[in-house]
A and B are shown apart, each in its own frame.
Chain A
Amino acid sequence: MLESVTPLAASAVALAMPLILAALGELVVERAGVLNLGLEGMMLLGALAAFATVAHGGGLVPAILAAAAAGILASLAFGFITLTLQANQVAAGLSLTILGAGVSAFVGRQYVGFRAPASFEDLPIPLLSKVPLLGPSLFSLNALGYATLALLAGTAWFLYRTRAGLALRSIGESPVVARSLGLHVSRVRYGAVAFGGAMAGIAGCYYAVAQFKMWQEGLTSGNGWIALALVVFATWRPLRVAFGALLFGGVSALGLYLQAIGVQVSTFALASLPYLATVAVLVAISADQQMIRRHAPASLGKPFHDDS
């Protein structure tokens, strides 16, 4: 039994990592009251930047930096349009997704079919990686995977244990009140948006240089949207985001596993399983309106200008 569950758990964790990265970033953005639907686009731009860096002989650290920088640049463009120019956040976010998909497909044409000359490989921690079940899944991650766990803990700590995190959450609830207390609404929101961009870019880097290790068009395959949904499903809480990502990763891994052992099910049905499972859980959670209402940042998606 354990022999079949262990690899399943390991691949569930591996599949969950980039989702956690992207969703954590978006969680911080939304907690500050900004809705950035451009997650998928920023991930694709990050993936492209990372892949191009390694393809042209750059190392893995420069790849991460390039991915984060690409995400930040894209997110700051979004921030300028929505926070400074007060444009509609939904429209701007969707445009960002379309732009990211287009640019990455266009610039990435030259890399199609390339294998990444350098990539993130698993780094098992001695002893801990030998623990049954948990060892192979949690303690033999690649460097980005460990970084994800650290960022998860760091984000939760930041949001709930620091003054800046409290200020960010408060701004998401009521920018008007926040300003009357002397908090810098726009500054904090720009910071949150940039953080979300960096995290999305690194998530893209994960897909390009740690998971697929080769370039293909649209390699994030809609996972940016899953990450967005996870934030809501997790009622804007970091640990629940991780749980949701593991659930999605687990169902994805199960599908791949069933296929591998030769269960006669349509591959399309299997491929759609994780999405169906996520939708089912989302609907179940959203049925409790109280839950969503109590936790949703009250000013989410609403424009606010610092001047009175």
Chain B
Amino acid sequence: MTTPILALRGIRKAYPSVLALDGVDLAVQPGEIHAVLGENGAGKSTLMKIIYGAVRPDAGTMEWRGRVVRVHSPGEARELGIAMVFQHFALFESITVVENIALALAGPFDLKALASRIAEVSQRYGLPLNPWRHVHELSVGERQRVEIVRCLLQSPKLLIMDEPTSVLTPQAVEQLFGTLRTLAGEGTAIVYVSHKLDEIRRLCHRATIFRAGRRVGEVDPAKETEESLAAMMIGREFPRMQRRSHTPGEVALELVSLSVPADGPFGTPLREVNLRVHAGEIVGIAGVSGNGQAELLEAITGERLVADSGAVRLAGQPAGRLGTTRRRELGLVHVPEERLGRGTVPPMSLSENALLTAYRHGMVRHGLVMREPAAAFTNACIEGFDVRCGGLGAKAQSLSGGNLQKFIVGREMRQKPRLMVVAQPTWGVDVAATALIRQQIVDLAAQGVAVLIVSEDLGEILETCDRVAVIAGGRVSPVKNVFETSAEEIGRWMAGMFPGGPAMAAKDAERVPA
């Protein structure tokens, strides 16, 4: 056996309230794609931060190519040849893609030269990117591409990828896997942190499994089943989703040739969108982010008003000019894509965050906050959704992504909605939490609530939704029953190839004789 490029021994890290890592080992060989598997809170992220020098361990050693090293900062890690794609992106929103990348690279400060290198790398690895766009205008998926390209430009010896595929189309996932296999073939070691068991089985050579801060095993994932991996990871049998037959009721949300101008200079305008969501059904909107999802969600939730009041109808009423509060009064609830900053106010406690959207439900009397009902509501969310946190006084920003999402979904569901709009319900959320959230959404629909899911995760849409449509270039495809379509067809639609879609429209235009 060759010397591991990276070997960790006995790593321990305690935080004031929790022991994040308890004497953990990890060995990664050169040219190996090594999966790090575990639930949220298992200590994976902490371990990655330790490797990358962002967090210092309390005890334990790290060996890099057989030599004991101490990595005090990400800068030192990068000098060794360690690069990381963060789960919570390390990007500055107010500056451009090329500036973000320049900050992490050594060498002369020549943005134009760098921009052409970015274009070249993004082309080669199938990660289309405009180097001169500002990051705040990019979707989550596009931001991830920035992170990946930034790492690739550093020609790393070890690449850490934290949940890289959650926002990619099936085709893009294949492309990324091709990239990673090429990199591994060139001798780059890859640490692949993920909850997606099928991906790990397909891609990774070895897998180290973590549970509650301890290493529970190292396996060859190709020789395991998804069930056996999941069982090792969560320590018990893995819950299966209960499907149900769906019987749609009245129309809860109707979009009637909704057109919305682009959200900022690099957004996508919506063109003539028609859509109906009935009570008791789950409709999914698939598509690569940046195709008009932001505009669609804003127009539905009332963050952006629409000139034509009848273009958005909630429970039969024209709602295009109603603000978010009025729409919530009509029974709309919303789980936004950004959990911190939009779904919750990060430095505020969970009970304060509960108040923000659920205050109508007996928590405010004569303009004064009623502490007890608010606490009871918050506790119900925490218990009902198994939110692991430091109680209802815990700050939103102190929760892991999965636990915060469970809290937000719980808060919205408990408001007795007529229509729930969810963006990226399980992005960056671990298997157990994902299963819980999806099951709760399905159960909610079974109680007669209309649900609209906008997600980039096609697997999620096919698993959860009753009917599915695709958004591409600001146009929404016809809606199909999920049993009457396939991942391949949806994938084609995502590229704009559906009746009335942008690709078809372009072809039609070509056919017009000159």
Contact = CB atoms under 8 A, between A and B. Distances in A.
Instruction: Answer whether A and B are interacting partners.
Output: yes
A20 to B, nearest CB: 24
Contacts of A308: 54-56
Given A162-B109, A182-B75, A182-B78, A177 B54 contact: no
A163 B102 contact: yes
Main SS of chain B's interface residues? loop
Contacts of B90: 177, 180-181
B156 to A, nearest CB: 14
B74 A180 contact: yes
Given A173-B93, A174-B92, A166 B102 contact: yes
B94 A166 contact: no
* Most chain B CB inside 10 Å of its own CB: which residue of A166, A180, A295, A308: A180
B495 to A, nearest CB: 33
Contact of A183 (B54, B95, B102, B103): B103
A173 B99 contact: no
B109 A170 contact: no
Contacts of A182: 53, 73-78, 104
Contacts of B152: none
Contacts of B102: 163, 166
A169 B54 contact: no
Interface in B82-135: 86, 90-95, 99, 102-104, 109
A177 B78 contact: no
Nearest to B105: A163
Contacts of A173: 92-95
A189 to B, nearest CB: 16
Contacts of B103: 163, 166-167, 170, 181, 183
Given A162-B109, A181-B90, A170 B95 contact: yes
Interface residues of A, number: 19
Interface string A167-201: 10110011001111111000000000000000000
Nearest to A169: B95
A181 B99 contact: no
A174 B136 CA distance: 13
Interface in A102-136: none
Nearest to A176: B90
B238 to A, nearest CB: 33
Interface in A4-23: none
Interface of A: 162-163, 166-167, 169-170, 173-174, 177-183, 294-295, 298, 308
17 contacts: A162-B109, A163-B102, A163-B109, A166-B99, A166-B102, A170-B92, A170-B99, A177-B90, A177-B91, A180-B54, A181-B90, A182-B77, A182-B78, A294-B94, A308-B54, A308-B55, A308-B56
Interface pairs A-B: 6 shortest CB-CB: A182-B75, A182-B74, A163-B109, A180-B90, A170-B92, A177-B90
Given A166-B102, A174-B92, 18 more contacts: A162-B109, A163-B109, A166-B103, A166-B109, A169-B94, A173-B92, A173-B94, A173-B95, A179-B74, A180-B54, A180-B86, A181-B75, A181-B90, A182-B73, A182-B76, A183-B103, A308-B54, A308-B55
